[in-house]
Chain A
Amino acid sequence: KAGVTQTPRYLIKTRGQQVTLSCSPISGHRSVSWYQQTPGQGLQFLFEYFSETQRNKGNFPGRFSGRQFSNSRSEMNVSTLELGDSALYLCASSADRVSNTEAFFGQGTRLTVV
């Protein structure tokens, strides 16, 4: 069974640009969550989607957005990139997002903003 696939693995962008990251969950999983990981702030929750609906959102500015497609694949978009957006972005999928269901993580996309 294939795991969570995130593309691309590495990305370099310039301040002010926008970026789209992709996540393909484990087959059959309907919940996808996104997290930002930085050395200073650690792992922070961005948002969670289930059956194309955003169910929960973290404390991030509106420049961060996401969506989920009917096949459960998800994308997140960051507009007007800032240097502080440099981070490892992790996607996780779950069979459902009942609180006791474990999340399976992808390898992440390393975004560098210059």
Chain B
Amino acid sequence: AQSVTQLGSHVSVSEGALVLLRCNYSSSVPPYLFWYVQYPNQGLQLLLKYTSAATLVKGINGFEAEFKKSETSFHLTKPSAHMSDAAEYFCAVSAASYQLTFGKGTKLSVIP
């Protein structure tokens, strides 16, 4: 069985501030982890993925995430928020099954 918990359904940051979106997972086998972003009325776009290579993963648009097995976490960060980062972000896990299990999502607001 696999599950994902995203802490904070809504996060607000000032433009230029650090973005930190939290994700914890549960998996009975070594997981593959993903972060997706969704803009209003759009599908999901992949930001980055962890597939058991480097634990620090760099993605698109300046985002990165660090896989910490001891903490079962895969938090998403960006050093400096931009207005265009305002969207909903989803963490997902895939582990030995043909499906993605998503967290509930975190809406990111960027304050000018």
**A→B interface (CB under 8 Å):** 4, 31, 33, 35, 42-45, 48, 50, 55-56, 58, 90, 92, 97, 99-100, 102-108, 110
6 A-B pairs with least C-beta separation: A105-B43, A100-B51, A43-B102, A56-B98, A105-B44, A45-B99
Sample of 4 further A-B pairs with CB below 8 A, known A45-B101, A102-B49: A33-B98, A42-B102, A102-B46, A108-B43
- From the candidates A58, A90, A105, name the one contacting B99 in the complex (CB within 8 A): A58
Chain A residues within 8 Å of B36, by CB:
105
Give the complex CA separation of A35 and B49 in angstroms: 19
Query: From residue A13, how far is it (CB to closest CB) to chain B in Å?
Result: 19
By DSSP majority rule, is chain A's interface helix, strand, loop, or mixed?
Answer: strand
The A-contacting residues of B in range 93-111, CB under 8 angstroms, are: 94-105
Q: Are the C-beta atoms of B94 and A100 separated by less than 8 Å?
A: yes
Q: In the complex, what residue of chain A is closest to B105 when comparing beta carbons?
A: A42
Chain A residues within 8 Å of B34, by CB:
102
Chain B residues within 8 Å of A106, by CB:
43
Q: In the complex, what residue of chain A is closest to B97 when comparing beta carbons?
A: A56
Q: In the complex, what residue of chain A is closest to B29 when comparing beta carbons?
A: A99
Contact with A along B44-69 (1 / 0, CB 8 A): 11100101100000000000000000
Q: Are the C-beta atoms of B90 and A56 separated by less than 8 Å?
A: no
Q: Are the C-beta atoms of A33 and B44 separated by less than 8 Å?
A: no
**B→A interface (CB under 8 Å):** 32, 34, 36, 41-46, 49, 51-52, 90, 92, 94-105
A-B CB contact pairs (8 Å), 9 listed: A4-B43, A33-B100, A48-B98, A92-B44, A97-B98, A99-B32, A102-B34, A103-B100, A105-B36
Chain B residues within 8 Å of A110, by CB:
41
Query: A42-B104, A42-B105 known; A99 and B43 CB under 8 Å?
Result: no
Chain B residues within 8 Å of A42, by CB:
102-105
